[in-house]
Amino acid sequence: MTLFSNIECLVTVNANGELFKVGAAMQDLGVINNGAILFDEKIRWVGSNNDVDAAIVDLHLGNDDVEFVDCSGQTVMPGFVDSHTHMVFAGNRADEFARRLQGVPYTQIAAEGGGILTTMNAVREASVQELYDVAEALATSALMHGTTTIEIKSGYGLSVESELAQLEAIELLRETHEARIVPTFMGAHDVPPEFKHAPDEYVDLLINEMLPKVAEHNLAVFVDVFTDAGFFTVEQSTRILLAAKKLGFLVKVHADEISNIGASAMAAELGAVSADHLEFTTESDMDAMLTAGTVATLLPGTAYTLRLPYPPARKMIEKGLTVALATDCNPGSCFTENMSTVLSLACANMHMSIEESIVAATLNGAHALRMSNSVGSIEVGKLADLVIYDVPSYSSLVYHFGVNHVWSVWVGGEENV
Ligand code: NIG
Ligand code: FE
């Protein structure tokens, strides 16, 4: 058993067993000043440092059974849950980034056969080991920045063989990496050039070959689709997601990122677990998502990188939507694995409070992966995914931005960084 004692600022994100927080409850981080936590693989006790001796007796522990970690002057929080990334890829798009800085739109680069297709070409050339190596380095860096659960999407292979290679790399990472890895199949990320003139045939391939193979080999929990102008229509996306649901997958949608063609409304109608991006989402879309219980996953690093308008986070929180924050880590539209930076962008540019941003990046992110019964907050019975920051208060993570305040990272009660 490990004891974190004398924690100056213990942020529990306690939800009293609820699976997410909305509205005014997002202001409540369940902070305990001078707190303590007892844990093995799971959290066994959380409370005030003054009560820890009694807790040790209650748990029938002797002093020799407990390993002490003194957290004086430090902050402890649940590990971040990054519920939206594209970390398995190959190659580099720094040149496209530089062109975009000079004003060339993302959509123009995509229409020229660049963007996602640039990465597709690199991924098709890469071995599973090479894909794994890129993802491993990024996941390790994410962990060192306080992220303990990471969702990763395929979607840069866009052929049966290459999508499966990406998913195999993700599976290898899931088996070997210290962070918790959650796999998503996103064969509908773009239409590959060989189907450019017959996109519906690619949709057929996806439904008839790719999805059944992914299901057969148990390579994904979620299926995601990029529903937007120039990518997949609502009709095509609906076909794919209905087929995915039939096979038992949970579904997500890249929605309203570069335009609004009805993607988030479709996500709500299909009972998607989350709709992600939402830069161009309308109030009626939000109402539909609220009714459906679809999580609004916001990716302010993408709006920053692509100079898009930021999603209307305040309106979403006011309406009572479950708002989550994630990195979108990918080589094109947002190349960061640092969740603290995402929190800073969310607060500065989407007018979220520091407290709301932390709830969105922990408990609500976990809910966007349907994992908030086991991670996302520091509550008795949940997994001990804990991060110690060398700052006296959680506000420093957002206030003192652009640097890594992580002191150590624990996943399932084991110290990793
Ligand atoms: O989430 N929107 C679609 N997909 C990614 C971008 C991927 C890329 O440009 O490589 C996104 O922003
Ligand atoms: Fe994305």
Closest CA relative to residue 294, chosen from 272, 262, 326 = 272
pLDDT of residue 262: 98
Residue from 330, 336, 342 to probe ligand 1 pocket by mutation (most atoms less than 8 Å from CB): 330
CA distances from 360 to 40, 78, 117, 412 (A): 26, 12, 31, 21
Which residue owns the Cα nearest ligand 1 atom 9?
332
**CA 241, CA 239: separation in Å to the nearest integer?**
6
For residue 370, the Cα-to-chain-centroid distance in whole angstroms is 12
Distance 116 CA to ligand 1 centre (A): 7
- 161 and 307, same domain (yes or no): yes
- 144 and 13, same domain (yes or no): no
Residues of the chain under the 70 pLDDT cut: none
Distance 83 CA to ligand 1 centre (A): 14
Token reading at 216: 């057969």
Distance 321 CA to ligand 1 centre (A): 24
Which residue owns the Cα nearest ligand 1 atom 6?
333
Grouping H, G, I as helix, E, B as strand and the rest as coil, residue 341 is helix
pLDDT of residue 128: 98
Closest CA relative to residue 255, chosen from 138, 269, 405, 247 = 269
- 324 and 404, same domain (yes or no): no
Token reading at 368: 């966007």
- 181 and 269, same domain (yes or no): yes
pLDDT of residue 151: 99
Q: Which residues face 68 on adjacent strands?
A: 3
Q: Which amino acid is at 228?
A: D
Which residue owns the Cα nearest ligand 1 atom 12?
333
- 385 and 263, same domain (yes or no): no
- 292 and 250, same domain (yes or no): yes
> Which atom of ligand 1 approaches the CA of 258 most closely?
2
Last residue of a domain, one of 327, 344, 367: 367
Q: What is the CATH number of the domain that holds 340?
A: 3.20.20.140
In a domain, 94, yes or no: yes
Q: DSSP state, 310?
A: P
Q: Which ligand is nearest to the CA of 190?
A: 1
Q: What are phi and psi of 189, to 5 degrees?
A: -95, -35
Size (the chain), residues: 417
CB-based contact 157:149 (threshold 8 Å): no
Strands in 197-249 per DSSP E:
222-227
**CA 272, CA 269: separation in Å to the nearest integer?**
8
Residue found under tokens 């038992």 = 248
Residue from 86, 96, 274 to probe ligand 1 pocket by mutation (most atoms less than 8 Å from CB): 86
**CA 263, CA 254: separation in Å to the nearest integer?**
8
Last residue of a domain, one of 334, 349, 367: 367
> Which atom of ligand 1 approaches the CA of 106 most closely?
9
pLDDT of residue 76: 98
In a domain, 348, yes or no: yes
Which residue owns the Cα nearest ligand 1 atom 3?
226
- 335 and 386, same domain (yes or no): no
Pocket of ligand 1 (CB under 6 A): 86, 115-116, 119, 226, 254, 257, 302, 328, 330-333
For residue 22, the Cα-to-chain-centroid distance in whole angstroms is 18
pLDDT of residue 283: 97
In a domain, 209, yes or no: yes
Residue from 254, 264, 327 to probe ligand 1 pocket by mutation (most atoms less than 8 Å from CB): 254
Render pLDDT for 126-167 as a digit per residue (tens, 0 to 9).
999 999 999 999 999 999 999 999 999 999 999 999 999 999
Q: Which amino acid is at 47?
A: G
In a domain, 293, yes or no: yes
CB-based contact 366:49 (threshold 8 Å): no
The structural domain count of the chain equals 2
In a domain, 131, yes or no: yes
pLDDT of residue 66: 94
Render pLDDT for 292-315 as a digit per residue (tens, 0 to 9).
999 999 999 999 999 999 999 999
Residues 6+ apart with CB under 8 A from 235: none
Residues 6+ apart with CB under 8 A from 346: 298, 300, 313, 325, 352, 357, 360
Which residue owns the Cα nearest ligand 1 atom 5?
333
Q: What is the CATH number of the domain that holds 383?
A: 2.30.40.10
Residue from 88, 89, 328, 329 to probe ligand 1 pocket by mutation (most atoms less than 8 Å from CB): 328
- 154 and 28, same domain (yes or no): no
Domain that includes residue 126, residue range:
80-367
Distance 85 CA to ligand 2 centre (A): 6
pLDDT of residue 322: 98
Residue from 278, 333, 334, 335 to probe ligand 1 pocket by mutation (most atoms less than 8 Å from CB): 333
Which residue owns the Cα nearest ligand 1 atom 8?
332
Distance 383 CA to ligand 1 centre (A): 31
pTM above 0.75, yes or no: yes
**CA 406, CA 417: separation in Å to the nearest integer?**
9
- 198 and 314, same domain (yes or no): yes
Q: DSSP state, 412?
A: T
Distance 102 CA to ligand 1 centre (A): 19
Distance 365 CA to ligand 2 centre (A): 14
Q: Which amino acid is at 394?
A: Y
In a domain, 331, yes or no: yes
- 328 and 394, same domain (yes or no): no
- 71 and 86, same domain (yes or no): no
User: Which contacts of 47-55 are long-range, i.e. CB under 8 A and separated by 24 or more positions?
Assistant: 49/5, 49/6, 49/7, 52/3, 52/5
Q: Which residues face 416 on adjacent strands?
A: none
- 270 and 360, same domain (yes or no): yes
CB atoms within 10 A of CB 351: 13
Q: What b/e sequence results for 191-226 when a residue is b if at least 16 CB atoms lie within 10 Å of its CB, and e otherwise?
A: bbeebeeebeebbebbbeebbeebbeeebbbbbbbb
In a domain, 372, yes or no: no
In a domain, 84, yes or no: yes
